[in-house]
Amino acid sequence: MENNAKKRQRPGRANIKLEDVAIHAGVSPATVSRFLNNPKVVSEEAKKRIKAAIATLGYMPHRAARALASNHSRTIGAVVPTLDNAIFSRQIMAFQNRLAFNGYTLLLAVSEYDADSEFQQARVLLEHGVEALMLVGERRSAEFYSLLTRVGVPFVNTWLYRSDSIHPCCGFIHDSTQQVLVDHLVGLGHRRLSVITGQPENNDRVATRLNAIVAALESHGLDLDPRCVINTHYSYADGREALRRLMALDEQPTAVLAGNDVLASGVLFEAHSQGIDVPGHLSVTGFGDLAISEHLYPPLTTIRTPKEEIGEAAADFLIARLAGRETPDRTELPARFCLRASTGPAATPALAHGIGGDGF
């Protein structure tokens, strides 16, 4: 009867609140709160008693209440296209790790490469009061960007770097990175290249790299046969299927630029099962450098992308912003060319259709 108000029970939480700790420790709630948030202003004596009270009561702060009162949720959101690809999962791991280290919790959503879904999910994260947001890519609706600026949370676009971007970003320059691969192949004598990649309409990095390939070829006086460009999804089976289509062409390409290492692996697998010699008959490049890529037969020539570095840099950027620290809007984390054995001199036309080399 000591409490005549209808007591709304809190299912789903231990029912100990800050006030209980205060009573137990013989101090005011304000002091307990200060102990939690800024311990140096409370006396040793009070600290000791509060600590004891927290321990014996098993008190856990109620973050929603804290968020409401202090206007700080201590959460940061991320929306990524998928976790299927090791690329994003490593980024997220590094990101989450950095956040946790700094006392932030990650709210995660997956967009499945769908722009509407990305927007929708980001909205929900904002409603949840995330103090900052990590996103992938930069192409999105004006409405999305205007929400972001209206709400005023710091955000960062990852996986790309453009020195003239109007938004904070961290990643690498896709054009020049992609160009390295094209130059490499052309330098090996390849004249008829092919591309197997994702859907440019859902993925601005794919679109950029595709353009970069065309531009790079142009600079060599070459062009890209549209029949040699296959836009597909990111699975091994898709990579295999794409190579089959390419090999069915009457003028077969001598090299394949795969959009990522999964696709490239698929190409390698298919080449193997068809007895196509790589790199004797066909050169293959990947993009991303997965852990497995150096172990494939032959080891894959690819681009090592800074997955963890991007996650960490994004976290550091956002945390710095939230702490009011000055920090540059754009961070370039270069991707590196990994020359391995899946690329080699273009077969001379005379040999082009033979099954060369020692296979696998």
Q: Tell me which of 36, 93, 115, 180 binds a second copy, using CB under 8 A.
A: 93
Q: Angle, to 10 degrees, between the axis of helix 29-37 and the axis of helix 44-57?
A: 90
Contacts of 307 (CB under 8 A, 6+ apart): 86, 87, 90, 91, 94
Q: Which C-beta is closer to DNA: that of 43 or that of 165?
A: 43
Distance (Å, whole) CA 59 – CA 192 = 68
Note whether 68 binds a second copy by CB under 8 A.
Answer: yes
What token pair was written down for 31? 């002091």
Q: Tell me which of 38, 58, 251, 348 binds a second copy, using CB under 8 A.
A: 58
Pair 228, 253: CB distance under 8 Å: yes
CA distances from 244 to 198, 239, 249, 284, 329 (A): 17, 9, 9, 14, 44
Find which of a second copy, DNA, none residue 153 binds, CB within 5 to 8 Å per kind: a second copy
Q: Which C-beta is closer to a second copy: that of 107 or that of 224?
A: 107
**Minimal distance in Å, beta carbon 330 to a second copy?**
22
Q: Which C-beta is closer to DNA: that of 28 or that of 273?
A: 28
**Minimal distance in Å, beta carbon 103 to DNA?**
12
What is the CA 345 to chain-centroid distance, rounded?
34
Find which of a second copy, DNA, none residue 166 binds, CB within 5 to 8 Å per kind: none
Note whether 326 binds a second copy by CB under 8 A.
Answer: no
Distance (Å, whole) CA 245 – CA 267 = 11
The residues in 19-48 that bind a second copy, with binding defined as CB under 8 A, are: none
Interacting residue ranges for DNA, rule: CB under 7 A = 5-8, 10, 15, 17-19, 26-34, 36-37, 41-43, 45-46, 59-62, 65-66, 68-72
Note whether 106 binds a second copy by CB under 8 A.
Answer: yes
Q: Which stretch binds a second copy (CB under 8 A): 75-83, 201-209, 326-334, 342-350?
A: 75-83
Q: Which C-beta is closer to DNA: that of 71 or that of 163?
A: 71
Looking at this protein, which amino acid is placed at residue 139? Answer: R
Q: Tell me which of 18, 21, 22, 96 binds a second copy, using CB under 8 A.
A: 96
Contacts of 38 (CB under 8 A, 6+ apart): none
Q: Which stretch binds a second copy (CB under 8 A): 19-27, 101-109, 326-334, 341-349?
A: 101-109
Contacts of 94 (CB under 8 A, 6+ apart): 307, 308, 309, 310, 311, 312, 315
Q: Tell me which of 2, 38, 152, 350 binds a second copy, using CB under 8 A.
A: 152
User: H/E element holding 55?
Assistant: helix 44-57
Note whether 100 binds a second copy by CB under 8 A.
Answer: yes
Q: Tell me which of 18, 22, 32, 126 binds a second copy, using CB under 8 A.
A: 126
Q: Angle, to 10 degrees, between the axis of helix 29-37 and the axis of helix 18-25?
A: 110
Q: Tell me which of 36, 67, 180, 247 binds a second copy, using CB under 8 A.
A: 67
Distance (Å, whole) CA 360 – CA 318 = 47
